[in-house]
Amino acid sequence: MKEKPHVDLIVFDLDGTLIDSCRDLTLSVNDTLHSLGYPPLEESLIAQYVGQGVTPLLQRSLERYGSKKVEEARSIFLKRYEEHLLDNTRLFPGVADVLLHFVEKHLAILTNKPYSLTEKILSGLNIDPLFSIVIGGDSLEAKKPDPGGFRFILNQLGILPREAMIVGDNPVDIQTGKRVGSWTCGVTYGYSAESDVKNAHPDFLISTLSALQNIIL
């Protein structure tokens, strides 16, 4: 049996961890591609590109067509996505119950999604009051896997790395936690391949967020 860590802070990734946003992201990416004269991509493919921020998402999508129109695509995408980011986006099963279960701990969001879009989603899903701090991909100079955002959260709350855990579906989340020295937990129901999450060697690996309640003291 692994040691059950006692943590005072849980830092969550957003897309693919707390929320299933893939349909809205896919529709916005494909609308952007259509505006630029390219055919749509499969949702399963776009899902693999989620997690490192808007620019990498569009870069990888455009690379399928040998295009470098990233700045033009970004402008189109952000306008479209902001208008439709809650059309289909929902919490993954059990997420609301897990957040409420840990409500006496500090909860934070560390995502590579732009801050304004993150706040709009958290508010629209009625979970924004549960989080002590929300850090978006444009809140600081660097995004995950740079540890700066995580360290900022720790410093703001006066919490040591080993008193915190990061939970996410992408290897960048695990890498971020390891660079800080916190506990790490990978989830396998998100957008990254399960093998990629395993290969990042998180301290814990769970197939539902509800299982987090059996890990953390």
8, 13, 20, 128: the catalytic one is: 13
Give the separation between CA 164 and CA 172, rounded to whole angstroms.
17
Cβ atoms < 10 Å from Cβ of 76: 20
In 3D, which of 154, 206, 161, 192 has the Cα closest to residue 49? 192
**Do residues 40 and 33 lie in contact, with contact meaning Cβ atoms separated by under 8 Å?**
yes
State the Cα torsion 203-205-209-211 to the nearest 10°. -90
Only one residue has tokens 């937990």, namely 185
Distance CA 76, CA 32 (A): 6
Residues 201 and 103: their CA atoms lie apart, in Å, by: 27
Contact 99, 107 (CB under 8 A): yes
Confirm whether 24 is a catalytic residue.
Answer: no
Catalytic residues: 13
